[in-house]
Amino acid sequence: MTSLFALVDCNNFYASCERAFNPTLEGKPLVVLSNNDGCVIARSNEAKALGIQMGAPAFEIRDLMEREGVHVFSSNYELYGDMSRRVTMILAEYTPNLEIYSIDESFLDLGNFRHVNLEQHAREIWERVPRATGIPVAVGVSVTKTLAKLANRLAKKSKKANGVLVLTDPMHIEAALKATEVGDIWGVGRRYAKKLAQFGIYTAYDLTQQTDSFVKKHMTVVGLRTVRELRGEPCIELELAPPTKQNICTSRSFGEPLTQLSDIEEALAAHTVRCAAKLRKQQSCANAFTIILETSRFIDPRQTYLNSRTVQLESPTASELVLVPKALEALRILFRPGFRYKRTGILVSGLVPATQVQQSLFEPDHRQRDQDLMQTLDFLRKRFGHTALRYGVQGTGKKWQLKSENLSPCYTTRLEGLLKVW
DNA sequence: TCTGGGGTCCTAGGACCC
DNA sequence: TCTGGGGTCCTAGGACCC
C-alpha cells in the first residue's frame, strides 16, 4: 500500500490571526513585525502586492507603509499559539495521525483514505478551517511529505487549484516538478540552489534526473532523501509526537543597546528563568549551558564583540537556583566594558530525562528541595503569569525589554482582549 | 537610531586511546 | 608514493526549516 499525505498550511498565518478578530482589516495591507519590531515576518496578500519583502527591516519600509496605509502589528505569540491550537483541533478530526509540523502547518496521514474522493475530502478541510477559526488555509495532497509540500505550494499559487491540489497522477507529478524551481523544494535552500545552478539544475524535475551518487556527493544524505521523496519514494515519516529537544535556547535582542553589566545581568537572569521553565516542561535536565553575549552585527566591525562561554554542570539540573548564579558568573567573564551590547541568551545542552539524573558525589544534595520549590514556582506562574514571581537580579526589565509598539490585544487568552471582542 | 528567535541534522577534522 | 590502523568523542561550521 502506498502512503498518502496532506499538508495543510495556514495562509499568511500571523497576518490572518490579526485579521480574524478585526474584520475591518479585510482586504487591507497588513504586516506583522518580529520581536523588537525589527523586521517583517508576515504579510497579508495586499502587503505582498505592495512589494514588501519577507524579512525587510521595518525602518527601511516605514515611509512606504505610511504612504500606503499599511496596518502594522508587533508579534503577539500568545494569540498565534492559541489560534494554532484551534486550527489543529479541527484538523485532528480528519485523520487519526497528525503531525503538527510548525505553528502554521500540519501533515495529515491519509494512508487509508484511498477509497474516498480525495479532492472532495481536501476541499472540505479547506472550507471548514476558515469557517471555524477565521484562518484561511491551503491543502496539498501527495504520496510523500516533500511532494505534499510541493502540492501545497502550487495549491496556493494556481488560480485554478484555488487552495487545493491533489497530486497523485504520475503525469501531474512530473508537470508539477517541471513547474517548481529547485530552490522552492522543501529541504533545498538558497545555498544549494545556487550550487545546483552551476550544474545546470534549475527545476525540481532536473534534480530528480541526477544520479544518487551525484546528489549524495553535493547535498549529503539529507539531500538524497529529498530527491527520493520527489521521485515518489517515501523516506520521511510522520512524527506523531514532538521529539524531545536536545537543546533549548532562550535569547532576545534588547529594546536598545546596553553598556552596563548590571542591565545585561537583569536580562540574562530573566532568560535563564524562562529557559529553566522550558527545561522542566519537557521534563529534562541539562548537563551544560552556553551563554551568548553580542553587539549588533550591523555596525562597524571594530565595534562588534561576539563571545560565548560553555559551562559543564556538576550534575544535570533544571533548577533556576543553580542555573541563574552560574549563568551570571559566566556572563561577567564574557563582559568587556566599552561595547554597546544588543543581545544575550542561554542555551542549555546535554539534556537528559529528569528521571535519570545521577547525583554528583561532590555536591550537597539540594535536589529534592529545589524540585519542590520549582514545582511551586511553576504552579504560581501558570496561575498568575510568568512575571508574577521574579528574582531581585531580574530587576524591573525596563531597560532591556523588547519594543512592541503595535501589540494587538490577546483576544483569546486575556480578559481585556475578550472584553474588546464583546 | 532602527535588521528575530528559535530549532535540526550532517560532515570534517582534531584529540586521544589502544 | 604513502608517513600504521581503527575506534570514539567533541567541536566548529555549514546546510536546512519555520
Residue A8: what pLDDT?
98
For the CA of A146 and the C1' of C16, the distance in angstroms is: 14
pLDDT at residue A422, as a whole number: 42
**d(CA A363, C1' C18) / Å:** 41
Indicate the burial class of A303 (C-beta count within 10 angstroms; 0-12, 13-18, 19 or more): exposed
Structural domains of chain A in order of their starting residue, each with its CATH number: 5-9+80-230 (3.30.70.270), 13-76 (3.40.1170.60), 248-394 (3.30.1490.100)
DSSP 8-state assignment for residue A39? B
Which nucleotide is at minimal CA–C1' distance from A10? Answer: C18
**What is the tens place of the pLDDT at every residue in A181-220?**
999 999 999 999 999 999 999 999 999 999 999 999 999 9
Q: What are phi and psi of A313, to 5 degrees?
A: -95, 150
Predicted confidence (pLDDT) at residue A82 exceeds the cutoff of 80:
yes
**Cβ-based contacts with strand B at under 7 Å:** A 34-36, 38-39, 41, 55, 57-59, 220-222, 243, 245-253, 256-257, 271, 278, 296, 298-299, 342-343, 345, 347
Within 10 angstroms of residue A390's Cβ, the number of other Cβ atoms is 15
What is the mean pLDDT of the segment spanning A350-359?
Answer: 78
Cell numbers of A186, please? 522543501
pLDDT bin (cut points 50, 70, 90) of residue A415 is low
Q: At what angle do helices A320-334 and A261-281 cross, to 10 degrees?
A: 140
A188-227 residues near strand C (Cβ < 7 Å) = 188-193
CB A389 within 8 A of CB A381: yes
Question: Of residues A111 and A422, which shows the higher confidence score?
Answer: A111
The percentage of residues in chain A with a pLDDT greater than 90, rounded to a whole number, is 67
- A170 beta carbon to strand C: under 7 Å: no
Q: Label residue A108 by pLDDT band (50, 70, 90).
A: very high
Q: What is the pLDDT of residue A358?
A: 57
Task: Tell me the residue type at A221.
Answer: V
Looking at every residue in chain A, the average pLDDT score rounds to 89
The string over A342-360, giving b where at least 16 C-beta atoms fall within 10 Å of a residue's C-beta and e elsewhere, is bbbbbbbebbeebeebeee
Distance A132 CA to C13 C1' (A): 45
Q: What is the mean pLDDT of residues A359-380?
A: 68
SS3 A421: helix
Are A65 and A31 within 8 A, CB to CB?
A: yes
Cell numbers for A25, please give them: 482589516
Q: What is the pLDDT of residues A294-315, one digit of tens each?
A: 988 888 878 888 888 888 888 8
Query: Which residue from A104, A117, A165 is spatially nearest to A140, judged by alpha carbons?
Result: A165
Q: Which nucleotides of B are covered by protein (CB under 7 A)?
A: 1-11
**C strand bases under 7 Å from protein CB:** 11, 14-18
Q: Cα–Cα distance between A92 and A100 in angstroms, integer? A: 10
What CA–CA distance (Å, rounded) separates A86 from A6?
18
The residues of A carrying an active-site annotation are: 105
pLDDT of residue A398: 66
A288 versus A136: the higher-pLDDT residue is A136
Report the nearest residue to nucleotide B2, CA vs C1'. A59
Nearest nucleotide (CA of A149 to C1') = C17
Three-class SS state of A286? strand
Task: Tell me if A145 sits within 8 A of A236, measured CB to CB.
Answer: yes
Beta bridge partners of A326: none
Is residue A365 scored above 70 in pLDDT? no
Strand partners, A9: A105, A138
pLDDT at A273: 93
pLDDT of residue A258: 92
Least confident residue range of A229-233, A301-305, A365-369: A365-369
The CA–C1' separation of A217 and C3, in angstroms, is: 28
Sequence-distant (6+) residues with CB within 8 A of A358 are A315, A316
Residue A185 CA and nucleotide B12 C1' are separated, in Å, by 27
How much of chain A is helix, strand and coil, in % rounded to 5? 45, 20, 35
Percentage of chain A surpassing pLDDT 70? 91
- Mean pLDDT within A68-96: 94
pLDDT band per the 50, 70, 90 thresholds, residue A127: very high
Residue A65: name the closest of A84, A43, A93, A36 by CA.
A43
